[in-house]
Copies of this chain bind each other. A is one copy, B any other.
Amino acid sequence: MSELNLRAERLDAADALAPLRSRFALDDVVYLDGNSLGALPAHVPDRVADVVRREWGELRIRSWTESGWWTAPERIGDRIAPLVGAAPGQVVVGDSTSVNVFKALVGAVRLAGDDRTEILVDATTFPTDGYIAESAARLTGRTLRALTPDEVPGALGPRTAAVLLNHVDYRTGRLHDLPALTAAIHAAGALAVWDLCHSAGALPVGLDEHGVDLAVGCTYKYLNGGPGSPAFLYVRRELQPRFDSPLPGWNSHAEPFGMSPDYAPAPGAVRGRVGTPDILSMLALEAALDVWDGVAIDAVRAKSLALTDFFLECVSAYTEPGRLEPVTPAEHGRRGSQVSLRCDDAGEVMKRLIEAGVVGDFRQPDVLRFGFTPLYTTFADAERAARILGSLLR
């Protein structure tokens, strides 16, 4: 047994979060793709079966009230809120991330007022954010400028309406400085909209603390909500009364069953709802969030950094120099919960790695991406993944 192997054993033995792994349905595969699709929490299948057989099958329409379906979007929002540093009543769940980016960005532009005519968007972001930002700009008559997060402070001005940024870059794993960028955006009088897809459930976000205006995020990555589980929308409490959604569906009406032809928006986070929520996906997510009970996000972050540090050390030990180039920043303050490695033939390498029982993913054009989910990833996983990767590259 190698030294790194022994180190992994000791680190796992000392890991206070280690018992959480048993809450998930896992097997011998080293699953380092929880940043694409989180693993299945072991109790979720029974809960989903109950939703389908009893709540839908037996109670049918009565479940909208008796099983709490109607209030699920805001109830589940309040479960997610502490994980992103939000007090209750500011997060609502529903729709996809893309649709929520649209609500948030159009809402932000309207909050900024008519004399602020430019939207700034992260050019390095997951592309859907840029596409939706372009649509939001077109529909609100604003111009759109794409630039790197580092360029944002220098680009802000009296014309800036809103800035849409990713907290963690999906490709490089780089963590952006949410407090500093939000403060700079506010100093220019603009609104900060953050996409938390790659940070929610992976590290502390501090939405309330840093005064973020609006935020969106997905729930199927580090929150383990299941494939395509609904996204969330955060609207800071002070802004809610003026939040003017471009998707004012009947679910966000102050009196949804009044069936009035006139729209009157509900107060609070509910204002971010649109149409009928997809209950099966939503209640699977609600159950999945049970694994977070009693888990502090700071402990998750500490383990995440220890895991990615250790993985990088193992990669360095097991791989010939020059074969892999880390693109994720080494500095803790700039690292998310993933490690991306540039590699020739990355697509082919990832294919062979998956065949060898280590699941990460490949991102165009040459990136191997490994996600570390502190709730279930072990140090032994990190060591084994690096060892197999090293042997494949030899």
Contacts and interface: CB of A to CB of B under 8 A. Distances in A.
Contact of A56 (B40, B246, B279): B40
Interface string A218-256: 101000001111110000000000000111111101000
A280 B49 contact: no
A98 interface: yes
A39 B56 CA distance: 7
B52 A226 contact: yes
Given A48-B48, A98-B249, A228-B277, 17 more contacts: A25-B53, A25-B57, A40-B56, A49-B49, A52-B226, A62-B359, A63-B227, A127-B250, A128-B275, A132-B248, A135-B247, A139-B140, A139-B246, A227-B278, A228-B279, A229-B278, A258-B364
A40 B52 contact: yes
B134 A263 contact: yes
A56 B62 CA distance: 29
Contact of A95 (B55, B64, B99, B135): B99
A131 B134 CA distance: 23
A19 to B, nearest CB: 20
B69 A57 contact: no
Interface string A271-311: 00011111111101000000000000000000000000000
A363 B95 CA distance: 26
A353 B95 CA distance: 35
A56 B39 CA distance: 7
Contact of A131 (B49, B146, B248): B248
Contacts of A49: 45, 48-49
Interface residues of A, number: 81
Interface of A: 25, 27, 31, 33, 36-37, 39-40, 44-45, 48-49, 52-53, 55-58, 60-64, 69, 95-99, 102, 106, 123, 126-128, 130-132, 134-135, 139-140, 146, 171, 218, 220, 226-231, 245-251, 253, 257-261, 263, 274-282, 284, 354, 359, 361, 363-364
Contact of A364 (B45, B95, B97, B257): B257
A227 B31 contact: no
B60 A127 contact: no
